[in-house]
Structure 1
Amino acid sequence: MTSHRISAEADPVRPGADRPLTIVVDGEPVTGTAGQTLAGVLLGAGRREWRTTSGGGAPRGVFCGIGVCFDCLVEVNGLRDVRACLRRAQDGDVVVRQGPDRAGAQEADR
């Protein structure tokens, strides 16, 4: 089999125009593009960590990027333990960092 190059102009697979979206992360608006995962939006905004571990408070963000590990867990629209690498961002999503300090505060609110 022989490969060949085609110019970008001749490529039949063309992405559509970007559709911007805004999510709210810990009270701050963060912009991204429709189709990105939450992790992609967060990384694109320069955020590399958004969870802390229960055994020592170590920072976590994306590790595997394919949903095998649980390092990228966040709360989305009130639902805890969402893997940011798997969930596509939706315009208006409200994302909150997770960690032992956050869990205790939410338990106290109930």
Structure 2
Amino acid sequence: MKNGLQPTVTLTVDDKEVTVPTGISVAAAVLGHLHLGCTCVHPVDKTPRAPYCLMGVCFECMMEVNGEENVQTCLVSVEDGMVVKRQLKVPEAK
């Protein structure tokens, strides 16, 4: 901590740069600092989903992190330069 200020990191969420405190989860950064409401859509009924349990049980916080899809973002701490995208499109079956 320098000059009484909490250390921060800068990440990009849906092409928007945001500075957040270090040590928080990606899910907390998206919900608490960007107020985006949802992080993904349900693959079956396409309803918007948002983190619920914030401890890795509910799988409602899935987002793309640094190019990797379906990451449980409540379990991942923010890092400087991280690129996060909400999963708002329903993947097509292969």
Question: With structure 2 as the length reference, what TM-score do the two structures score?
Answer: 0.83
1:34 aligned onto 2:34: no
Partner of 1:66: 55
Mapped to 1, the partners of 2:52 and 2:19 lie a distance apart of 22
**Number of residue pairs matched by the alignment:** 89
Partner of 1:20: 8
Deviations 1:18-77 (CA, angstroms, capped at 9, x unpaired):
111111111111221110100111122212211011112111111111101111000100
Cα deviation for residue 17 of structure 1 reads 4.4
Partner of 1:3: none
CA RMSD of aligned residues (A): 1.8
More strand by share: 2
The percentage of counterpart residues that share the same residue type is 35
Runs of 4+ that moved beyond 2 A:
none
Counterpart mapping for 1:88-107 below 5 A: 88-101=77-90, 103-104=91-92
Q: Which has the higher contact order (CA 8 A, sep 6+)?
A: 2
Cα deviation for residue 100 of structure 1 reads 3.8
Uncovered stretches (5+) of structure 2, i.e. residues with no partner: none
Q: Is the 8 Å Cα contact of residues 53 and 100 (structure 1) preserved in structure 2? A: no
More helix by share: 1
1:51 aligned onto 2:40: yes
Uncovered stretches (5+) of structure 1, i.e. residues with no partner: 1-15
The structure having more radius of gyration, on CA atoms, is 1
